[in-house]
Each structure stands twice: as C-alpha cells, then as structure tokens.
Amino acid sequence: MTERKRGSPPQPRNCCPNYPRTPPEVVSKHRRWTKADKPVKKMRGMSYEKRADYSRTWLLPPSLEEWVGPDHPARFIREFVDAMDLNQLGFRVRESEQGRPNYAADLLLKVWLYGYFQKIRSSRGLERACREAIGLVWLTGRNEPDHNTLWRFWKDNKKALKRVFQESVRVAARADLVGMLVHAVDGTKIGAAGSKWKAWHRKDLERWLARVDSSIDEVMEQVETAEAKESGEYRLPAELCDREKLRATIRQGLEELQQAGRDHVSKTDPEARMMKMGNNYDYGYNAQAVIDEQNGILVAAEVVADEDDHHLLTPMLEKVEETLGGAAEETIADAGYASGSEFQRAEEKGYEVLANIVEPGADDDYHHSRFRWDAEQDHCVCPRDEVLSFESVKKNRDGSPVRMYRCQSYLACPVRWQCSRNKRGRTVAISSYHGAWQRQKAKQAEPDKKAILRRRAQLIERVFAWIKQEMGFRRWTVRGLTAVQGQWALLCTTVNLRIMYRTWRKRLLLA
C-alpha cells in the first residue's frame, strides 16, 4: 500500500486509488458507509427551479375549456345564467343595425354576477378583470366589454336584477336548500352615495335666512343714508347683490323641503333619508332581508327609504310568498318590527310571526302595558285598580280608530305624578289592534316560542356582518331608490350563489 503524501486528499478505503468510486447502490450492506460512497454534489449554479418559458409554442393550442378547473366558480355562474330565460325576466337587449354587434345580455349578466362573487363592483374594475382575471376571461370567451357597455346594461336592467334574485331563491328551493320552517327578517342601514354636508336642513336654512335678512336691512340703511347726503345716481353695493343671491338660494332650499314634506333633503341623492347609523346620523337607505334557517339562503330582499321597520314585517312576508308560494311555519323578527297593525295584518293573511316585544322595566310600575282593558265595561283599570273612563275616539296615522280613556280620580291619587305628568290625569290609548298585540304577547310566553325567538340574531345578523365586513360593502355606489334596490338584489344573489356553489362543488367532487 502506497504512502499518502502530505496535503493530498484521503483515498477511499478497500479500493485502489486508480479505480472509480463504488456506486452507493452496489455497496455491500455489510460494509461500513464512508464519505467516499456519497453521491457527487452538483456544481454551484445548477438548479431545478421552474421558470417561465416565454418562447414556448403549441402545435395544437389549448382549448378554452381547459383554462379553468371543473369546480371553478366561473363554471357554476355559467350554468346558473344559462338555465334562466332572460327575456322572460325582462332583460333589455340593445339592438343596432350599424356598427359592431352588441354584447348578449347573458354574457354581461355573467360578468356582473362573477364580479360581485369576487368583490368587484365597479364597471371599470370589471373592464380590467375581463382582460386580466382568468375566470372572467374564460367566462366571456375572451371578449372584453368596456365599462360603458357594462354600465348601460346595469342602468337598463335594474328591475330585472331583482328577478334574478328571485330566480336564485327558486333554484335553491328546487335543490332542497330551503327548509321553510323558520325564517328571520331584519334590516340594516347603509349609507347613501353622497356627502351629508351637501344637503338642505330646515333649521340651518331658517337660521341663515334670518341672518341674511338682518344683514340686508343694515345695508339698506347705509344706502338710504348715503342717498340723503349725496346727490345723483347711487349704485347698489356688491355685498347686497351677493346677499340677495344667497337669500334666493336659501328660499329655494326651503321650498324643496316644503314640497318633499321633510326637514332634511340630500342634494346629491334626494331619495335618501337621514337615519341613524351606529352612533351617527347620515343619509342612507334601509336594506331588508329574510333568511331561511336551514342553509342561510336569503328568500326575500328589499330596500326602502323608511327610517324604521314598524310597517315592514308583513310586506317582507308577502315577498317571500310571491317567490316561494308561501311563508315559513314561523317568522321571527326583532323589536323594531313589533306593531299591533302588523300583528293583525299577519293574522289576516295567515302568517305565523314572532316579533320580540320589549317588556317594561321592573321599576316602571305604571307602564301603559300594565293597564287592563275591559271591552265589555268599556274602561281601563290601572295597577291600583282605579277605573279610567272612556273619553273620546281619535284617529291613528293609518286612519284606524283609537279609544282614549282618562283617569277621573287623579286629584286624590297618591302616585299621581309618578304615573303621569299630565295635569289633567293619566290617559291610556287602546287601538283597534289591541287584541292582536295581546295574542302575540301570550304567544311569546310559550317556552318553545321563546327558544325560537332567541335564534333570530345568529341567523340574520351574521349575513349583514358578512356583507359589510367580508365583502367590504358599507356604502351604496349608486344613487336613487331603484338603483339601490338593484344593487341590493345583486348582493343578496351573491350570498345565495356562494351557498349554492359550495353544495354544487361538493356534489361535483363526489360524482
């Protein structure tokens, strides 16, 4: 065995230095593994990373159907739209004998639905997505409608979009995704597309008008003094002219408020109303929805300009019946929908409803709900068993009669001022809906009904939270009640499509 020179690399064991190294796969398992048996490392600079080959070409180009997977949401949107008869739903199609052919209504509807599905809600954003997003590139067949085309389609078919929402509900019902056992109704306030500072406010206008009038009077006194001292023609000061224009503008705003019958009118969106949103007041609309308990499908949707929900319970149930042919076995709502007129109207139409009634506090011993009404004797009895006699009949806002009862022994009552601040004694109003209110109150006392009513918040509130937080929709992007209704219908359709897409995808993967 030759001696290794100083500084030379070590030689492999049990082999001649003149022979190549033994491959690892032929090394005997009884022999000890050595460094010489390791595979040779690659040289620095060699890599197996995947990189784009921009010079690649295909002998046969790939088919458009291969661009998205079989469970891609774009395929689901296509199936949903292709199954509808858009002419029957009332979609308008622009026809022109000159120029390029128009885009089909089903293609543009697919773009809007997929855009909302992917949180793209502007026409310019959809125009970019039709060129860049693979889902829309596939869905449009590589067509690229511009933002003007997309916006005209939206403008022409705002009402038809509400029918698309109804069709999504019917499709979900045919797929057994709607249970019709328990429905929950609620509303949420969404800000209008405009600044609340660009608006007419009656109190501000009246205060400004008083200031302008006083300033003009002062200027007129200066003019009369100058004319008395000087002779010849005297020009009207520019300050006075400007204030006259301001006064004319203020009076115009007051006339608009008088015609609208309101104290606040937005100049950018006149149909919006001033309403409370969280801790502040702003112009907005009241968006309503009804949800089915089984899978969270929205079965009714509407937008109104009412600031409260007192008269919206029965109209929302009528929309459910219009779409599905009937209402659920039980519909639950919060205290904002509690109204005697709505309870009676629901009874007349055969709707089973539960709207939470707020009970008076334990320290409120003389709340009006603690007064008993005796229809036969035609009087009311207070918690101290004092009789309130019938006094008169008044008219409610809706024209229904209201019977008024007044306490006759209030002068000698020891709790007179605790019961009422009225100097003529306590009065109690009994409307024609008193019986319906009492029956609803007795119904809510049942243990099983209480359990159903407690499920309301977890059903409908999470949908509003998902729309505002996950989808980032906190303000309307269109103006006018009709346009806002179309946008809300498209949002609620998106909620239903997402639920149906999950079911469609599961069935597709299991097939």
Give the domain extent around 259: 199-266
pLDDT of residue 327: 93
Residues 287, 350: one domain? Answer: yes
Residue 146 falls inside a structural domain:
yes
Residue 54 falls inside a structural domain:
no
Local confidence band at 80 (pLDDT 50, 70, 90 cut-offs): very high
Q: What is the DSSP letter of 475?
A: B
Digit-coded pLDDT (tens) for 212-262:
666 655 555 554 554 454 444 444 445 555 666 666 766 676 676 667 666
Instruction: Provide the mean pLDDT of the chain.
Output: 83
Residue 364 falls inside a structural domain:
no
Digit-coded pLDDT (tens) for 476-494:
999 999 999 999 999 999 9
pLDDT of residue 138: 94
pLDDT of residue 185: 95
Residues 100, 214: one domain? Answer: no
pLDDT tops 70 at residue 20: no
Measured in whole angstroms, how far is the alpha carbon of residue 355 from the centre of its chain?
21
pLDDT tops 80 at residue 86: yes
Q: Are 297 and 166 in contact (CB under 8 A)?
A: no
Q: What is the mean pLDDT of residues 182-208?
A: 79
**Which alpha helices (H) appear in 267-394, and where do they start and end?**
313-324, 340-349
Identify which of 384, 194, 185, 202 has the alpha carbon closest to the alpha carbon of residue 283.
194
pLDDT of residue 236: 45
**Beta-strand pair 280-292/298-304:** antiparallel
Residues 453, 306: one domain? Answer: yes
Residues 209, 247: one domain? Answer: yes
pLDDT of residue 458: 86
- Torsion angle (degrees, nearest 10) of CA 177, 180, 186, 187: 60
Digit-coded pLDDT (tens) for 251-304:
676 676 667 666 677 777 888 888 888 788 888 999 999 999 999 999 999 999
| pTM of the entire predicted model | 0.79
Residue 53 falls inside a structural domain:
no
Residue 105 falls inside a structural domain:
yes
pLDDT tops 90 at residue 49: no
Count of structural domains within the chain: 4
pLDDT tops 70 at residue 21: no
pLDDT of residue 234: 42
pLDDT tops 70 at residue 201: no
Q: Higher pLDDT residue, 475 or 243?
A: 475
Q: Higher pLDDT residue, 28 or 294?
A: 294
Digit-coded pLDDT (tens) for 106-145:
999 999 999 999 999 999 999 999 999 999 999 999 999 9
Q: What b-and-e string marks burial along 221-237, b requiring 16 or more CB atoms within 10 Å of the CB?
A: eeeeeeeeeeeeeeeee
pLDDT of residue 198: 72
Identify which of 421, 325, 284 has the alpha carbon closest to the alpha carbon of residue 366.
421
Q: Is the dihedral of CA 390, 394, 396, 401 positive or negative?
A: positive
Q: What is the mean pLDDT of residues 37-61?
A: 72
| CATH assignment of the domain containing 288 | 3.30.420
pLDDT of residue 489: 95
Q: What is the DSSP letter of 284?
A: E
Name, of 1-10, 85-94, 256-265, 285-294, the range with top average pLDDT.
Answer: 285-294
Residues 338, 296: one domain? Answer: yes
Residue 171 falls inside a structural domain:
no
Residues 338, 459: one domain? Answer: yes
**Which alpha helices (H) appear in 157-268, and where do they start and end?**
158-174, 202-229, 238-260
Cα-based distances in Å from 458 to 214, 356, 461, 472: 57, 15, 6, 20
Residues 278, 321: one domain? Answer: yes
pLDDT tops 70 at residue 45: no
Return d(Cα 147, Cα 125) in angstroms, integer: 8
Digit-coded pLDDT (tens) for 421-471:
888 889 999 999 999 999 999 999 899 998 999 888 888 899 999 999 988
Residue 26 falls inside a structural domain:
no
Digit-coded pLDDT (tens) for 392-405:
999 888 888 999 99
Residues 90, 137: one domain? Answer: yes
Q: Are 133 and 118 in contact (CB under 8 A)?
A: yes
pLDDT of residue 272: 85
Residues 213, 315: one domain? Answer: no
Residues 246, 285: one domain? Answer: no
Local confidence band at 359 (pLDDT 50, 70, 90 cut-offs): confident
Q: Are 130 and 136 in contact (CB under 8 A)?
A: yes
Residues 386, 296: one domain? Answer: no
Residue 433: half-sphere exposure toward Cβ, Cα within 13 Å = 19
Q: What is the mean pLDDT of residues 56-77?
A: 88
Q: Higher pLDDT residue, 371 or 61?
A: 371
Residues 261, 325: one domain? Answer: no
Q: What is the mean pLDDT of residues 166-190?
A: 94
